Amino acid sequence: MGTYLNPGNSGFEAIRKTSYVDKSGMISLINQTIGTTHKLTCVSRPRRFGKSFAAQMLCAYYDKTCDSAALFDDLSIARDPQYMEHLNRYDVIYLDMTGVIGEASVGDIVPFVKRNIIRELSTAYPNLKEEEGFVSTLVNAVALAGRRFIVIIDEWDAPIREAGCGPQAQQNYLEFLRTLFKNSGATSQIIAAAYMTGILPIKKDGSQSAISDFQEFSVLDPGKYAAFTGFTEAEVRTLCETYHMSFDEAKSWYDGYCFDEVHSIYNPYSIMSALQSGKFKSYWKKTSAAEALLTYIDMDEEGLQGEIAKLVSGEEIEVDVDGFENEFQTFKGKDDVLTLLIHLGYLAYREEEQGTGIVRIPNKEVRLEFHQILRKGKHRELHRLIRESDLLLEKTIQGDADGVAEAIARIHDSNYAPQFYNNEQALRAVVRYAYITCMDQYAKIEELPSGHGCADIVFLPKRRSALPALLIELKWNKTASGAIAQIRDRNYPAVLEGFGSELILVGVNYHEKTKVHSCVIEKQGFRRCLF
């Protein structure tokens, strides 16, 4: 066993000793591609979605230098008719590109990979004839082995994402991939099947067209691989039962990625971290993506920060994903940045039409990450919005009606307020922004049916929160006291009994002629109900 040739099954063996969720069905899909025109597969997903676990599983299954039957016989793949046909029958070339760029010097990535693969091949096959060309040497190795290679590349895009690699090193790397995967004669001689995984999809034009022969299954279109990277809802339910933890809380914290094929998909790293520690909290803050996210937001492409403010406030926004070209240094507009955030896992995507769709912040964990990032941002206006929102929530809970009115007025004067402030809907948009940081601790519901009508905006404290519920009624050219009267007359609070020990009623009015916001606040006690 080696590092780059036939890495063995120790990685997957360690995985099996944990609370393993069976993802071996992926092997069946790869087996179906062996020796076909569809033998090149690329699956891209955000960080910590189980991509590397899948790569280690495939290594353990195909590597001919080990016996992995004991690791797979009790998994779903063992029921596949092709299970034994391909089990431990191939030489595997395995490249962990994150590890490679950590060991190789900046300009030596490709020569480093070639040297080490040939060195390990020469050890495995002492009679191997080394040719001047790398591909020709692999052809000779196949002749000696009597069978083509399975190629597995983990974090294929690491050299593309890492600016430190430099444009020339990146270009050399892409040309190396071209040599392997787009040589019409040699590729078929060398490769039985290939599996590549990373964060970024494959670029379809420009220099990366070198590897566009891959069948691609990205987070935008996961297809038949949807269930094999990430946990399904059924899997999370089972895990929560095993660990005696709340599925509802797990869903609130980590759900939100929706694939048509399997519906809800959960981040496996966050789920397992929460279950093993016994605590539901954010585990994403430990990722290196946070710094990158801050950089992209600070660019403020085409008013991006205003769109981010909408997302953090709980809104959904439209995005065009078709123009994205996997560039980390240059962006044509905000759609490029938003698309990148989808691939990084910061936004969940739902397709509406070909190439366009809707994005939102997927869950509480990621929303907290956004809040932390925005508080560190360089853009003063957005930072001020977050600070004002923090103050607004404090004033609301204190019952400081004048302070609330003043805070809403200041937020109305920010760059994120509607351009045309001429009706109650415009006021609603301002109030939505005003309470943007409430989303950390509250679930927001608009037009909540209750009593004899619908409450404009309701903030329900999330589970185990000691905060009061907030019920906000809006008026335009009327009075804030009239808003409170409507709340009481139509019995809006009735539906909120049991959500805490206290309910705060907030009436907000804007008078178009005087251009003044006014507010009235009342507190109402409820019998405590824990759930």
**∠ CA 202-203-207 to the nearest 5 degrees?**
120
Hey, what CATH class is 10-218 in? alpha beta
Query: What is the C-alpha separation between 409 and 364, in angstroms, rounded?
Result: 28
| pLDDT above 70: percentage of residues in the chain | 88
- Residue-level pLDDT at 313: 78
Q: Could you tell me which residues come within 8 angstroms of residue 457 by beta carbon, excluding any fewer than 6 positions away?
A: 428, 431, 432, 435, 444, 445, 446, 470, 471, 472, 474
pLDDT band at 356 (very low <50, low <70, confident <90, very high): confident
pLDDT of 293 reads: 61
Helix (H, G, I), strand (E, B) or coil at 127: coil
pLDDT (tens digit, 9 = 90+) per residue, 88-103?
Answer: 999 999 999 999 998 8
Both tokens of 241, joined, read 């039962």
Residue 300 sits at the vertex; the CA angle it makes with 296 and 302, to the nearest 5 degrees, is 125
Evaluated on CA atoms 494, 498, 499, 502, the torsion sign reads: positive
What topology is assigned to 286-375 in CATH?
Arc Repressor Mutant, subunit A (1.10.10)
Q: Which tens digits make up the pLDDT trace of 187-221?
A: 889 999 999 999 988 865 455 555 778 999 999 99
Which part of the chain is CATH 3.40.50.300?
A: 10-218
pLDDT at 528 over 60: no
Distance CA 63, CA 1 (A): 9
Q: What does the block give as tokens for 427?
A: 């006021």
- Measured at the CA of 437, the angle between CA 432 and CA 443, to 5 degrees, comes to 70
pLDDT digits (tens, 9 = 90+) for 241-279: 999 999 999 998 998 888 877 888 999 999 999 999 999
Q: At what angle do helices 109-124 and 134-145 cross, to 10 degrees?
A: 20
Q: What is the pLDDT of residue 486?
A: 94
Q: Where in the chain is the domain with CATH 1.10.10?
A: 286-375
Record the tokens describing residue 477, joined without a space.
């050219």
Instruction: Enter the DSSP assignment of 156.
Output: T
Region at 399 (left for phi over 0; alpha for psi -120 to 50; beta for the rest): left
Name which of 232-241, 254-263, 394-403 the model is least confident about. Answer: 254-263
In whole angstroms, give the CA distance from residue 316 to residue 45.
21
